[in-house]
Amino acid sequence: MEWDQYKMLKFKAITALAAVAALSLAGSAMAQTNGQFPQTPWNAFAPASIQCGWLYGANMNATTDQAIPISVPSGTWAIDSISISNPSISLTTAQGGFYTAASKGGVAVVASTQAYSTLTTNAANSTGNFMTTTLSTAGNTTDFQGPTQTSAIKMLYFSLTTAQGAAATADIRVRCRPLY
């Protein structure tokens, strides 16, 4: 009888050790799973660059200001890039820039001489349906204050210096780097 009790005790001890090992492994798997759901503030999981503004159907035949609302999740931000796509016609003469204030005021993020003549088609998967503007030195080296700051820049203005000369539209996207 003693031998059977010894075997049963040994079996229970091995089973208990196996259960502890299984729980230990399950605990580490749970810790890895918890990483998928943020339990700290947003900045611990923040993207490096976001689309912070857009103007679809921008009028490429008007020299008046066209406002682009900027939305960022941080107190300060910088412009990463401004892209133009989907022109309604080939943009042979349109030129203009982007500014932080109306009437070509504030910081000139993209110079007034920026040409859009590389935009020649709106056909998908075709050369000439997309371009990235050239940011000015100021556009590349300025951190802007976000919505929670007193001098917040909440709008960019697209303003052509030279209109296309015929009805034309294009889509504008602004990408920003939130500075958390």
Spans of all domains in the chain: 1-29, 49-179
Cα-based distances in Å from 67 to 90, 109, 148, 154: 23, 14, 20, 10
Closest CA to 166 of 81, 93, 73: 93
Q: Judge: domain 49-179, CATH 2.60.120.
A: yes
- Residue 180: pLDDT band with limits 50, 70, 90: confident
Spatial separation of the C-alpha atoms in residues 114 and 107, rounded to whole Å: 15
Of 138 and 37, the structure prediction assigns the larger pLDDT to 138
pLDDT digits (tens, 9 = 90+) for 67-119: 999 998 888 899 999 999 999 999 999 999 999 999 999 999 999 999 999 99
Q: What is the pLDDT of residue 62?
A: 98
Spatial separation of the C-alpha atoms in residues 43 and 40, rounded to whole Å: 8
Q: What is the pLDDT of residue 15?
A: 72
Average pLDDT, the chain: 85
3-state helix, strand, coil in the chain (%, to 5): 25, 35, 40
Side-chain half-sphere exposure of 97, counting CA atoms within 13 A: 20
- Residue 58: pLDDT band with limits 50, 70, 90: very high
Spatial separation of the C-alpha atoms in residues 52 and 69, rounded to whole Å: 8
- pTM (predicted TM-score): 0.74
Spatial separation of the C-alpha atoms in residues 174 and 180, rounded to whole Å: 18
- Residue 28: pLDDT band with limits 50, 70, 90: very low
Q: Please determine, for residue 38, whether its predicted confidence score (pLDDT) is greater than 80.
A: no
3-state class (DSSP) for residue 146: coil
CB 60 within 8 A of CB 91: yes
